Structure 1
Amino acid sequence: MRKVINIAALALLGLALSTANADEAAIRASMTKSMPAVKIDSVKPSEVKGLYEVVVGANIFYVSEDGKYLLQGRLVDVAARKDLTEAKLNGTRKLAIEKIGVANMIVFKPKVSKYTVTIFTDIDCGYCRKLHSEMDQYLAQGITIQYLFFPRSGKDTESYTKAVSVWCADDRNAALTAAKKDQKIPAKTCDNPIDEHMQLGADFDVKGTPMIISESGNIYPGYLPAKQLVEALESEKDPK
């Protein structure tokens, strides 16, 4: 009797997997046809029956099993009062930042690093300048700061040109510090990742700068003093 039940269970599992694979294929085909430029990273069933979770870069969409309907928004577990989408976005943000790579960032590192944050910055942003002027305080707290450029004025503007010049400088860290003090730096051009930074910022829905992202993928919009940032990062390790 048990053997019959096991065979039946395996048959049902096989049917479920087959259906899931067919749904995934339908979703990929539908999205590729309607949005050929979109690169789908993964498709898998969401917590809601008949709705699939589609990861595209740092974004998450929800698509019907036939691929005809797409939802963009947050999936919330009402009973648990938990934003399920945000929890998963943390993971996609981490992967997206890793994909950019430290070699394509400007990094300020303390002697002993306890924490690492990635910050979208604009050279001409007032609070970005305030944060940078307190760099010694962040380093004293053991915080490594990885900068990505997000000139809010857009491409081919003065802020964008400054970002390119900083990246192309012989000493990027010194050039960034000088630029944030409103000191004139030599205008330079070279191969640079600024456009890639800006695209990632758009994917992360950056509304303002600075925008701080922790190693866990959590977002802290705006300026945070060093001690307050450490408290936030520590709370991630020991959530209450």
Structure 2
Amino acid sequence: MSAIDWARRATGAMRPSRIVIAACCSVGLASLGLAADVPEADMAVRDALKARLPKTPVGAIDCAKVRGLCEITAGANLFYVDPAARYLIIGRIYDMQTRQDLTAARLLEMNPDMLVGAAASANAAANVTGQDARRAVAAAAGGKADLGRTPAAPVLRKLSLDGLGKEGAIIWGDPRGQAVTVFTDFRCGYCRALSNVLRTMKVKVIERPISVLGSRDIADRVYCARDREQAVHAAYAGEPMRGGSTCDTTGLDANEAFAQSHGLNGTPVIVRSDGAVLEGYRPREFLEQWLKEGRS
């Protein structure tokens, strides 16, 4: 029986235009849900947003991806509302079945060069949705929004890595290049994108995996692999890793303890040789200039 035939039977011979078929390749029906009249639902949300956020340039609306939520894109920004567009939600959506950060994947798909931080900073404050959304969030919090001020960029801080030994580090890249330490998660889309950028640069990457998105099992296999560099790239690409050997992974425990004690709750976190820190993905041109500043 085809997926279309199954969907028709399950919905009682509903006309095809009213059927939403969940993709079976990676995300289950439980996370997507079968919704009827998706275009009509999207239009209702768009009309409600026009009334409630008239100055926000709403682009795409997707009410079929996550049951009970509609994903809204506004320029390079992303937020969520309930189907009645009464509640505006700013945050990240995680699929615990597939262990994917759906918000991160969508943001990166929208703009691979976005200078966004990890975890909390990808949708930081209400700035992601424009002036009207900032007003809505401020009103919900009982405060007042300063709509004329652009939120300040995150202040770069420094981080001493003296508390970390050699254990727990996966070293790859150009051994003669400038060293850069990266705290990563193998299920993080931004980490994958950053890894691809670093592969094109003449840098020595000291990768320290931490399990933010439940990836410790992958980190163990990469760390214990005979060819760790090959295993790193295979893990990010979702490819099978060679060998199934086990080893002492207490170094990875040390990575996670260090990250927790220093408030590294998202990935990637990039640390320059002088201790300067960047949180989140950055494109190659930015990284090259930032690393050059560390040598001056």
TM-score range for the pair, normalised by the shorter chain length: 0.5 to 0.7
Q: Does 1:190 align with 2:243?
A: no
Q: CA RMSD in A?
A: 2.3
Name the structure 1 match of 2:129.
none
Q: More helix per residue: 1 or 2? A: 1
Q: Does 1:100 align with 2:165?
A: yes
| Conserved? CA contact 2:168–2:254, under 8 Å | no
Shift of 1:204: 2.4
Q: Does 1:227 align with 2:285?
A: yes
| Conserved? CA contact 1:122–1:149, under 8 Å | yes
| Conserved? CA contact 2:225–2:231, under 8 Å | yes
Distance in 2 between residues matched to 1:231 and 1:131, nearest whole Å: 15
Unaligned runs of 5+ in 2: 1-154
Distance in 1 between residues matched to 2:175 and 2:217, nearest whole Å: 32
Distance in 2 between residues matched to 1:133 and 1:233, nearest whole Å: 17
Q: Which amino acid in the other structure matches residue 171 of structure 2? A: V
Q: Which amino acid in the other structure matches residue 167 of structure 1? A: Y
Distance in 2 between residues matched to 1:173 and 1:220, nearest whole Å: 23
Match of 1:210 among 263, 268, 285: 268
SS of corresponding position for 1:145: strand
Shift of 1:117: 0.9
Distance in 2 between residues matched to 1:233 and 1:223, nearest whole Å: 14
Name the structure 2 match of 1:173.
229
Shift of 1:234: 2.2
- Aligned ranges 1:18-167 → 2 under 5 Å: 90=158, 93-96=160-163, 99-101=164-166, 104-110=168-174, 112-113=176-177, 115-139=178-202, 143-153=203-213, 157=214, 159-167=215-223
Distance in 1 between residues matched to 2:277 and 2:161, nearest whole Å: 11
Q: Which amino acid in the other structure matches residue 110 of structure 1? A: D
SS of corresponding position for 1:134: helix
Shift of 1:138: 1.9
Q: Which amino acid in the other structure matches residue 166 of structure 1? A: V
Shift of 1:116: 1.2
Distance in 2 between residues matched to 1:108 and 1:190, nearest whole Å: 19
Shift of 1:226: 2.5
Distance in 1 between residues matched to 2:294 and 2:252, nearest whole Å: 30
Distance in 1 between residues matched to 2:291 and 2:198, nearest whole Å: 17
Q: Which amino acid in the other structure matches residue 107 of structure 1? A: I
Shift of 1:208: 1.2
* TM score, norm. by length of structure 2: 0.43
SS of corresponding position for 2:255: helix
Shift of 1:233: 2.2
Q: Which amino acid in the other structure matches residue 212 of structure 2? A: R
SS of corresponding position for 1:216: coil
SS of corresponding position for 1:100: coil
Shift of 1:178: 0.5
Shift of 1:237: 4.0
| Conserved? CA contact 1:118–1:213, under 8 Å | yes
| Conserved? CA contact 1:93–1:204, under 8 Å | no
